[in-house]
Amino acid sequence: MIDRAAIRSALAVILAFALAVGADPVVRAAEPLRAYVADASGTSVSGMSSGGFMAVQFQVAFSNDVIGAGIVAGGPYYCSEGKIELALARCTGTWAGPPDPARLVAFAREAAVKDEIDPLENLARQRVLVFGGMFDTIVTPPVVAALAAFYREAGVPPERLAIRADLPAGHGFATQDFGSTCAATIPPFVNACGFDLAGAILQHIYGSLQPPAQAPAGRLVEFDQSEFLPDARAHGLDDTGLVYVPGPCEQDARRCRLHIVFHGCLQGRERVGDLFATRTGYNHWADSNGLIVLYPQAVATPRNPDGCWDWFGYDDPAFHVRSGRQMAAVKAMLDRIVAPGR
C-alpha cells in the first residue's frame, strides 16, 4: 500500500526544491487560452501513467487530428472497460491476466463504426513511441507490452512503432539528469536516467529536429481551463491549465506545431506546481523547433483523490470516446490553439 503521509511529505520537499532552483519562465496569471493559428497538420500527444492512458484515448478517438504519440507507462485503449477493478487488476498490475490487445482493438473498431471515435485506419499513418521501465511496479511491463501489441493489431506499421522497454527505470518520466534515481518509484515520478525521453518522443514523431535549447526562453502561461468544461473541478479538470509558447510562436504561429502532454497521477499543478511542465524536457525542444506545448491539468475529486485523468470511468462512462467530458474539453483546447484568430 502507498503511504500517503509519506507521499505528502515527499511532495512538499520536492516542490520547495523546485521553487528554489527553478530557472524556467515565470508563470503568469491565468488568462483566456489564445488562438495561436498553429499548424493544424502537426499535432501530436504524449502522456505519463494515467496521462499515458489518456494520451492513447485521445490519439485513438481524435486520430483525424493527431499525427503521432508517445506513451509512457500506459496501456491499450479502453483497457479498463470502464471498471476500476480491471484498471487495477489488468491494466496496472496483471494478477487477473494482461490486457487482451485483440479484444480492445475490436472495441475500438466497434466505437468507430458507431462514429464515437475517428476511423481506426488513421493509426496506420501515425508514428508512436511506447516507453516502459524495466522496474516499473505500477504499470508493469506486461501492460506496456500489450500496448505495443495493440498498436500492431490496430495497423501501426513496424517502422513507425518504436518500443523502449530496456531502461532500468521505475515508474517515472525519464530525463537526462533531473529527478529521483532512475529505478525509483516515488513522487513526483520524474527520474534521472541519463535519457532524454521527451526528446526521444518528439524526434520519433517529427523526425529530424534542431538540438534542444540550453534554457527555455519562451513563456509558460497559465490559462483558464474552466471555460472548456462547466464545473470543471467536479469532473476532474483543474480550473487552470498550462501552455508553453516559444517566442516566435507568440508572433506568428502558422509554422508552429502543437504537442499535447498529459501528466500522470500526483503530477498536476495542484500537487507539484509547474514541475512536470518545466522539468521533463519538452520546453527545451519546443524552443528550438517551433512547438507549442499544451499541458492540460487534471485535479483531485472524491472518486479520484490522486488527480488522475479519467481512463477508467471515475467521472464519465463516455470517458474513452470523443464525447467524453475531459476528452472533449482538451479537444476544444486543441481547436482553439490551431484556430484562426478570433
Cα(342)–Cα(340) distance, rounded to whole angstroms? 6
Q: Cα dihedral sign for 54, 182, 280, 259?
A: negative
What pLDDT was estimated at residue 339? 83
**All three cell numbers of 154:** 490496430
Place of cell 526521444: 200
Q: 275 in helix, strand or coil?
A: helix
Q: 209 in helix, strand or coil?
A: coil
Cα(57)–Cα(43) distance, rounded to whole angstroms? 15
The torsion defined by the Cα of 303, 312, 184 and 141, in degrees rounded to 10, comes to: 160
* pLDDT class of 242 with cuts at 50, 70, 90: very high
Amino acid at 35: A
Residues 63, 127 contacting (CB under 8 angstroms): no
pTM of the model: 0.91
**All three cell numbers of 123:** 493509426
**All three cell numbers of 224:** 483558464
What pLDDT was estimated at residue 79? 98
- What single string gives the DSSP state of each residue in 22-47? --SPPPEEEEPPP-----GGG-EEEE
Cα(175)–Cα(318) distance, rounded to whole angstroms? 34
What pLDDT was estimated at residue 2? 38
Residues 99, 176 contacting (CB under 8 angstroms): no
* pLDDT class of 29 with cuts at 50, 70, 90: very low
pLDDT per residue over 254-282, tens digit each? 999 999 999 999 999 999 999 999 999 99
Catalytic residue set: 49, 136, 171
Cα(49)–Cα(27) distance, rounded to whole angstroms? 25
pLDDT per residue over 37-58, tens digit each? 999 999 999 999 999 999 999 9
* Residue 122, φ and ψ in degrees, nearest 5: -60, -25
DSSP classification of residue 139: S
User: Which residues face 72 on adjacent strands?
Assistant: 48, 131
- Angle of CA points 38, 41, 46, to nearest 5°: 85
Above pLDDT 70, what percent of the chain? 91
Beta strands in the chain (DSSP E): 28-31, 44-48, 68-72, 127-131, 161-164, 173-175, 180-181, 190-192, 219-224, 240-245, 257-262, 291-295
Q: Collect all residues with Cβ–Cβ distance below 8 Å to 301 and sequence separation of at least 6.
A: 233, 234, 235, 236, 314, 315
Q: Mean pLDDT over residues 314-331, rounded?
A: 98
Q: Mean pLDDT over residues 183-187, rounded?
A: 98
Q: Collect all residues with Cβ–Cβ distance below 8 Å to 182 and sequence separation of at least 6.
A: 167, 168, 169, 170, 172, 174, 191, 192, 193, 194
